[in-house]
Amino acid sequence: MRIPTSFLVFVIICLVLLLGGCQSTNENTNTTATSTATPPGAQELTQVPRPAKIEQAMKDRGDQDQAKPTLKIVSPAANATVGGSTVELKLDLGGDLKGYMPHKDPATQKGNHIHVILDNEPYEAYYEIGQPFELRNVAAGKHTLRVFPSRPWHESFKNDGAFQMVEFTVKGGGDASKPTTTKDGQKMADPAKSPGKTAEPAKTANANSNTSPTPAREGKDFAPSNSGDVDPTKPLLTYSRPKGEYKGEDADPIMIDFWLSNAKLQGDGGTFRVRYTIDGGEAKFIDKWDPIWLSGWINGKHQVKLELVDQAGKVVDNGGYNSTTREITVAR
Ligand SMILES: [Cu+2]
């Protein structure tokens, strides 16, 4: 059978038009995506294996990734009342460390660290655990604090005792010399005040009794938030990753990682599932408690939602913490 040349030419022209059309659509969505959240369907995400770069990093670390670090929150003590908006976090790291020690390498700005989560806000990284970490601008009221050890690529250790959680209360948050906080804990008016910190509220029980002015301590300003009505003995999903901005090769693939307390997933012999939804698209499930990596992100802002659900697909209620949505930014 012979195909007429004119028909072949027609087919080729159609293909060229089709491809050209697709391409320009993609470019369009790319440019608009920077200002608004990416609409579902604009990107095709696929789950990929753990990146070779991380596999290599694990090998280079020897048996450190088999460590079983445990954390104990020394301060704030469980159910403590803290006066003032600066909350000092002190941790005891123990367990089978196999060389695991939080520390930021000044050259690479990377290293093992602790993920510190106030209420259900994005975590902050805590590197030098030999000295306290300051949670600054903490709003008055009830709070939860969650901590767990993490690797340089932000994957958490998931052994027993790694995760710790306390509840505490802040009374009279804000700087006494300036009405920066309202009782509802609105945004602190003057974050520039924080680094000065000349008149630190009296902390008599402070182990750091040096007379010299306190050096710049590790710490972070926290956005106003309060604790959910969380029961630490009930199933709890703690969102960890992704967060913030992803650039260049760090943006592909992107890891989803979380902590699970009092809950076993279906693939681990339990009944729960973790449901994730990107940009409001089709929901997918994670049935084993391991990080996953997703490839194919397009530039712009993305909404990542992680939920702990039961067999019926219903979110397990626990103070609202079991359904968390974070916005991340991808700039490849
Ligand atoms: Cu991290």
Could you identify the residue written with the tokens 């369907």? Answer: 41
Q: Ligand 1 centre and the CA of 156: distance in Å?
A: 8
Q: Ligand 1 centre and the CA of 280: distance in Å?
A: 25
Q: Ligand 1 centre and the CA of 210: distance in Å?
A: 31
Nearest to 117 by CA among 271, 292, 309, 261: 261
CA dihedral sign of residues 83, 88, 89, 91: negative
Q: In what order do the strands lie in the sheet with 141-150?
A: 80-83, 164-171, 141-150, 113-118, 124-126
**Dihedral, CA of residue 116, residue 118, residue 122 and residue 125, to nearest 10:** -20
Q: Ligand 1 centre and the CA of 153: distance in Å?
A: 6
- Asked whether the predicted pLDDT for residue 191 surpasses 80, the reply is no
Q: Ligand 1 centre and the CA of 216: distance in Å?
A: 21
Nearest to 299 by CA among 30, 3, 16, 9: 30
Residue 50, token pair as written in the block: 């753990």
pLDDT (mean) for 243-269: 97
Q: In what order do the strands lie in the sheet with 87-96?
A: 68-75, 87-96, 133-136, 219-221
300: number of CA atoms within 13 Å, CB side?
A: 24
Q: What is the pLDDT of residue 288?
A: 98
Give 283's contacts (C-beta < 8 A, 6+ positions apart). 275, 276, 277
pLDDT digits (tens, 9 = 90+) for 277-320: 999 999 999 999 999 999 999 999 999 999 999 999 999 999 99
Q: Ligand 1 centre and the CA of 276: distance in Å?
A: 20
Give 254's contacts (C-beta < 8 A, 6+ positions apart). 242, 246, 293, 294, 295, 297, 328, 330
pLDDT (mean) for 195-201: 37
pLDDT digits (tens, 9 = 90+) for 27-55: 333 333 344 667 766 799 999 999 999 99
Contact 119, 225 (CB under 8 A): yes
Question: What are 142's strand-pairing partners?
Answer: 169
Q: Ligand 1 centre and the CA of 151: distance in Å?
A: 7
Q: CA 281, CA 279: separation in Å to the nearest integer?
A: 5
Q: Ligand 1 centre and the CA of 78: distance in Å?
A: 24
Q: What is the pLDDT of residue 283?
A: 97
Residue 261 identity:
S
Q: Ligand 1 centre and the CA of 108: distance in Å?
A: 14
- Among the residue ranges 18-27, 52-61, 96-105, 301-310, the one predicted with the least confidence is 18-27
Q: What is the pLDDT of residue 321?
A: 98
DSSP per-residue letters across 255-279: EEEEEEES--BGGGTSSBEEEEEET
pTM above 0.75, yes or no: yes
Q: Ligand 1 centre and the CA of 299: distance in Å?
A: 22
pLDDT digits (tens, 9 = 90+) for 57-89: 999 999 999 999 999 999 999 999 999 999 999
Q: What is the pLDDT of residue 89?
A: 98
Q: Ligand 1 centre and the CA of 285: distance in Å?
A: 23
**Stronger pLDDT, 39 or 140, i.e. the higher one:** 140
- Among the residue ranges 20-34, 48-62, 151-165, 219-233, the one predicted with the least confidence is 20-34
Q: Ligand 1 centre and the CA of 283: distance in Å?
A: 25
Element (H, E) at 72: strand 68-75
Q: Ligand 1 centre and the CA of 167: distance in Å?
A: 22
Pairing of strands 113-118, 244-247: unpaired
pLDDT (mean) for 168-173: 88
